Amino acid sequence: MEGYGGPLARRLEAVGSCLESEGVASREVFLRLVDKTPREEYGDYGFPLMRFAGGRDLEGVLSKVKDCVEALGVNGVSLSIHRGFLNLKFNEDIIGGEAISLYEKGWRVDVIKVGGAEAKNIVVEHTSANPVHPLHIGHARNASLGDTLARMLEARGHRVVRRYYVNDVGRQMAVVVYGFKMLNTTPRDVAATLKTKVDHAIGWVYALTHTAVDFALARKNMIEEDLNLLASTLARLRERGSPELADKIIGAVLSLEDPEAEVSKIMLRYEMGLEPEKSLVRSIAEAALEGFRETLEKLGVEFDYWDWESDIVWSGLLAGVLNELSRSGFTKVHKGTVALDTAAVIRDVVEGDSVLRESIKLPRGFEVPPMVLYRSDGTTLYWTRDIAYSIYKFQHSKADRVINVVAVEQKLPQLQIRLALAAIGRVREAANMIHYEYEMVNLPGRAMSGRRGEYVTLDELLEEAEARAFYEVKARNPDLEEETARNIARKVAAGAIRFSLVQPGALKPLTFDTAKVLNFEENTGPYLQYTHARASNILEKHGPIKYELANPKTYSEPLRRNILITALAYPMISAKAADELRPEDLAAYLLKLADIFNKWYQKDSVIHEKDPGAREAKATLVKLVKDTLSSGLTLLGVTPLERM
């Protein structure tokens, strides 16, 4: 029975099917739009019937839908019309009794599964941080959103592949390689000297080298203001790491006439797959990824594939794509180099394809600038390489849909990539590639810059969150063994960070505050974990539930009824959140359920209930809430805890 929607879903699906058979609205439309009513007296759920009735008599439609629902053998739901809405009210005795019976047979609340042809192959590519510095809070938001989407879609019944794109081709990687060449040592040796993680050491070398190269350029061009600022940054980085190693990099960079030419040389030779650059870049990138994996593991984030940008280049796929673009008739010379004529693609391809036009949804009057394909030195740009990688993702995973979790600032390149796919006849790929945008995360009073070494690493934030969580856990459980408390604190810290980065919605800018995200009392991941632990504690004290004694008539009490109706909505709400890629809706629902439960359990004791029928019915409610929170938290990447 896993994945079965349960008593509430069965009745909603029946009403939706009857509306469809009457030609009013499809079942899918009904299930997408039906929602909780704003006022209790209207019923439990409402659907805007007038909008779809096409002028038909609403009472006549209501009568036919009622007859249809009855013919399907579905009871426990009453239908009425109010102000053009079809309202549904559930009989708590009937649906509560059905829930108890289901639990007795081994049912557990879960996401409704798609079946057959509705189950798709979906690629979710996320995080994909450049291997030149450690992960920070911005990467954590990308990872949290991407992993949550993958979990939700997988729970919905889709076949999901998680991919990480290793950006090892391009200037940033060439800069950090240049730094290590000047040092003539390895990332692990630098990490040992600095007494830090290897990805942190790489970040220090990258920032120092980048700033030194920029200082040399500013000195050459006599830009006094930039020189002062860059000199200050070099001094800060020197003292923060190893002065001896810093002086070695700075001295080597400033001794050259044109250090930028050295960086460009590394970049070009690596793109061509030449040694020693090939082995050097790979070794540094691998070391950075080692650090990334360690950090991501703390957040519960894993990948099925780590795709190297260089492999896409060296495989010939990029060259093939560039050849297709050159023969497409959609390229032109722009600012002295070859570019995709995006305006022509929109006019000749997108506008003539209704599916593609609806998928891309270009804003009216918006002009997409040409997409430059090459630098002046002949190397490709990251968005050019992303065209080839997009094709690879579809081909390698036999994907029906590809979701790219990429910051909102990449909106234009993501659009241009889809237009490039359309230009070479990859219309299916262009129509089924989704840019899942998210806004950046700020830290109070801090500006972040990877190339200047100005960031707070995700490792540091996890450590701070764990320390705060440990204090809270010990304050609530002073007798808890330290190792147990630390294990709980690690899960609380990771859950707090993940939940805080997903809950507001991807397009809401965030200012991250560790103290606020660790609040145990309201609107946080720890609050939900604490509620789950409370439910677990009640069930542990109660012992095994005797479902045969549970009396569903006791669910008529308003708070119990509210919990029953709210919790049984989970299979539909989680399914809808997955379909619409809106994890924030799932987060909001879980918080609402937790609020109702916490308001109820203190007033209406389960353990001290004298009536056996009421006690077992209430214990079933507690289990329903616990199971719902457990499933929902797992989808959000937050560990459900039995004790806090």
Domains along the sequence of the chain with CATH: 6-90 (3.30.1360.70), 118-168+309-442 (3.40.50.620), 171-288 (no CATH), 458-635 (1.10.730.10)
Please name which of 419, 443, 240 lies closest in space to residue 331, comparing C-alpha atoms.
Answer: 419
Identity (one letter) of the amino acid at 529?
A: Q
CA distances from 378 to 265, 267, 311 (A): 12, 11, 18
Rounded Cα distance, 214 and 190, in Å: 22
* Residue 426 main-chain phi, psi, to 5 deg: -90, 60
CA distances from 310 to 339, 420, 643 (A): 22, 20, 47
- What integer pLDDT is reported at residue 2 of this predicted model? 42
3-state class (DSSP) for residue 121: strand
Find how far residue 427's CA is from the centre of its chain: 26
**Helices marked H in 156-256:** 171-183, 187-194, 198-220, 224-240, 243-254
Rounded Cα distance, 288 and 188, in Å: 10
For residues 432 and 359, the answer to whether their CB atoms sit within 8 Å is yes
Helix (H) or strand (E) holding 309: helix 309-314
Question: Going by DSSP bridges, is the β-strand pair 85-90/45-47 parallel, antiparallel, or unpaired?
Answer: antiparallel
Please name which of 90, 6, 8, 93 lies closest in space to residue 613, comparing C-alpha atoms.
Answer: 93
How many C-beta neighbours within 10 Å does residue 458 have?
A: 23
Count of residues making up the chain? 644
Residues facing residue 275 across a β-bridge = none
How many C-beta neighbours within 10 Å does residue 187 have?
A: 25
Task: Kindly list the strands in the beta sheet with 159-166, ordered across the sheet, starting from the edge strand earlier in the chain.
Answer: 305-308, 159-166, 121-125, 401-407, 433-438
- What integer pLDDT is reported at residue 257 of this predicted model? 87
3-state class (DSSP) for residue 86: strand
Query: For 459-516, where are the E strands, in sequence order?
Result: 510-511
Residue 550 burial (CB < 10 Å; 0-12/13-18/19+)? buried
**Across the chain, how many H-helices and E-strands are there?**
28, 14
Please name which of 641, 632, 627 lies closest in space to residue 492, comparing C-alpha atoms.
Answer: 641
Ranges of the chain with pLDDT below 70: 1-4, 445-448
Helix 612-635 / helix 525-542 crossing angle, nearest 10 deg: 150
- What integer pLDDT is reported at residue 446 of this predicted model? 65
For residues 227 and 215, the answer to whether their CB atoms sit within 8 Å is yes
On the question of a cis peptide bond just before residue 259, with omega within 30 degrees of 0, the verdict is no
